[in-house]
Copies of this chain bind each other. A is one copy, B any other.
């Protein structure tokens, strides 16, 4: 089934079940007012939502038109957002840009940071930023939402806890990262609010594109209307979602509604090195800093700027038939207070 959260006057919005083709929806309020409430009591609520989804497909319930613009992030605020960096190619590239090697341990021990989860952006809302000087970048990622995960969960327990899949734009402020990471406590100011896709889907909606741990489909990214990336999220993902969840749960339980991110989707080139831009026949990138790194490695300097006020990014994923699965994240960068 497919779920979305519509804007209303509350902080958590209203849960709706969305039709497979994303054109219609029906309120889930009789069963759960919000997505968090559904996740808190998933065993009881999910079968009822599945029945509702079935009736919606059959046209057996009164439905309303679904507009992606009316959606908040599926969890407008969450109790946990932990983002891995599972595409080690991305990590290697970003490090190469600053002259740092990739430690061997990065291929066996996942990188993960604790993100802010109190206030996610709407998928069609603006990216509000204080200054263009902060190096505003997108990061197109996959995320899963989990149920309760016990401390020390096995890979199998982790896999069984995956409830929903969605897309993320993990907005990043590149210029703030060097100083912040040098302090040793990880990202904070350099990782402002993220946005998630209008729709979150149960893994079965992905069909054969979901293998239990990865999504084997291209991540379609465009910047200002021009194709920028189509890296396959199933390729070069060094740590799959069960591995990321088990990593997060090693020393503590995870509560229902925890969001675990994949990190920026990134594919290596045919020669094992950095992938090529779409304009040169490659699959492109899921963030600007990768292209800038490639430009730097090839020409000594980055030519592509970070995002400016007024720039628009779009992130989407389509099934084998070309139909949007999650709806699109489409955001324009705006000046804070502007």
Contacts and interface: CB of A to CB of B under 8 A. Distances in A.
Contact of A128 (B151, B183, B193): B151
A189 B130 contact: no
Contacts of A187: 114, 185-186
A123 interface: no
Contact of A112 (B103, B152, B188, B257): B188
Nearest to A194: B252
Interface string A203-231: 00000000000000000000000000000
B111 A185 contact: yes
A329 to B, nearest CB: 17
A184 B185 contact: no
Contacts of A114: 113-116, 186-188
Nearest to A193: B252
A238 interface: no
A250 interface: yes
A189 B336 contact: no
A251 interface: yes
A186 B258 contact: no
20 contacts: A11-B255, A80-B116, A105-B179, A111-B184, A112-B185, A112-B188, A114-B115, A114-B116, A116-B252, A129-B251, A134-B251, A151-B336, A152-B336, A173-B251, A185-B187, A186-B186, A189-B250, A189-B251, A189-B252, A192-B251
Interface in A170-194: 173, 176, 179, 181, 183-190, 192-193
**3 closest Cβ pairs, A-B complex:** A186-B186, A79-B118, A80-B118
A325 interface: no
Interface in A95-146: 103, 105-106, 109, 111-119, 128-130, 134
A253 B105 CA distance: 35
Contact of A184 (B40, B186, B189): B186
Interface of A: 11, 40, 77-80, 82, 85, 103, 105-106, 109, 111-119, 128-130, 134, 151-152, 173, 176, 179, 181, 183-190, 192-193, 247-248, 250-255, 257-258, 336-337
A84 to B, nearest CB: 9
Contacts of A152: 130, 336-337
Contacts of A111: 183-185
Most buried by B among A130, A183, A252: A252
A82 B258 CA distance: 17
A223 to B, nearest CB: 21
A247 B176 CA distance: 13
A226 B253 CA distance: 31
Contacts of A184: 111, 181, 186
A128 B250 CA distance: 12
Nearest to A252: B192
Contacts of A40: 11
A129 to B, nearest CB: 7
